[in-house]
A and B are shown apart, each in its own frame.
Chain A
Amino acid sequence: GENVEQHPSTLSVQEGDSAVIKCTYSDSASNYFPWYKQELGKRPQLIIDIRSNVGEKKDQRIAVTLNKTAKHFSLHITETQPEDSAVYFCAATASGGSYIPTFGRGTSLIVHP
């Protein structure tokens, strides 16, 4: 089955700095890679996703890159703000079939004002 590794487990940055979270996956059949943000006690919210036919996707301060050959994808947050503080999860899945997303362990991002 799929195995997703996520690093770092904790990331502490100053407000305004950039933050990068990296994930690797093992199953070459995976073709959909969502990123979720989870605030304490709340549900994970999709913040951005990328499909395997695209190498990069950007939405304002958030961007995701995908390297299919190396089987890794990354989340980039620029100009971080205190409200970006949360736990971020990457996931990998193959579309079709039963679609069972495999999640990374999560990264706790702390943005210091």
Chain B
Amino acid sequence: GAVVSQHPSWVICKSGTSVKIECRSLDFQATTMFWYRQFPKQSLMLMATSNEGSKATYEQGVEKDKFLINHASLTLSTLTVTSAHPEDSSFYICSARDFRGLTEAFFGQGTRLTVV
């Protein structure tokens, strides 16, 4: 089956530094990838939709300059949290859709970000 790999699975960083999270589709090509943020005991909050070769579409309220998204190839999208603050601490999950148009989305394993 389709596999989405997200790295790292957890990271601790100091306030003011930047952190990059990678999302890779291992056995399929993903024209579209989605980035979510999840707070404890809450649902998945869509942050942005990433399309290969074009700029990401951000949801209302999500700062583009703070959460930089790059989708340089059909198998890789990255999320960079810039100038991280403790309130950015959260669980970030990506998902990818097969470019052939299949509607199922496959999730990465998530990244637990802790900013100290």
A interface residues (Cβ-Cβ under 8 A, vs B): 32, 34, 36, 41-46, 49, 87, 89, 93, 95-96, 98-101, 103-106, 108
In the complex, the chain A residue whose C-beta lies closest to that of B44 is A103
Contact B42–A42 (Cβ < 8 Å): no
Interface string of B38-53 (1 = CB under 8 A from A): 0001111010010100
A105→B45 CA distance, assembly (Å)? 9
Find chain B residues with CB under 8 A from A104 CB: 43
A99→B50 CA distance, assembly (Å)? 12
How close is A94's CB to chain B, nearest CB, in angstroms? 9
Seed contacts A44-B93, A98-B32, A106-B41; 20 additional CB < 8 Å A-B pairs: A34-B103, A34-B105, A36-B107, A42-B110, A43-B107, A43-B108, A43-B109, A43-B110, A87-B41, A89-B43, A93-B103, A95-B103, A98-B51, A99-B32, A99-B105, A100-B46, A100-B49, A101-B105, A105-B43, A106-B43
Find chain A residues with CB under 8 A from B41 CB: 87, 106, 108
B71 part of interface (Cβ distance < 8 Å) = no
Contact of A44 among B49, B103, B107 (CB under 8 A): B107
A99→B46 CA distance, assembly (Å)? 13
A36→B93 CA distance, assembly (Å)? 14
B97 part of interface (Cβ distance < 8 Å) = yes
Tell me the interface secondary structure of chain A in the complex.
Answer: loop
Interface size class of B (residues with CB under 8 A): 20 to 34
Find chain B residues with CB under 8 A from A106 CB: 41-43
B interface residues (Cβ-Cβ under 8 A, vs A): 6, 32, 34, 41-44, 46, 49, 51, 57, 91, 93, 97, 101, 103-110, 112
A41→B6 CA distance, assembly (Å)? 14
Contact A99–B43 (Cβ < 8 Å): no
A-B contact pairs, 28 of them (CB 8 A): A32-B103, A34-B104, A41-B112, A42-B109, A42-B110, A43-B93, A43-B107, A43-B109, A43-B110, A44-B44, A45-B107, A49-B104, A87-B41, A89-B43, A93-B103, A95-B103, A96-B101, A98-B57, A99-B97, A99-B103, A99-B105, A100-B34, A100-B46, A103-B44, A104-B43, A105-B43, A106-B42, A108-B41
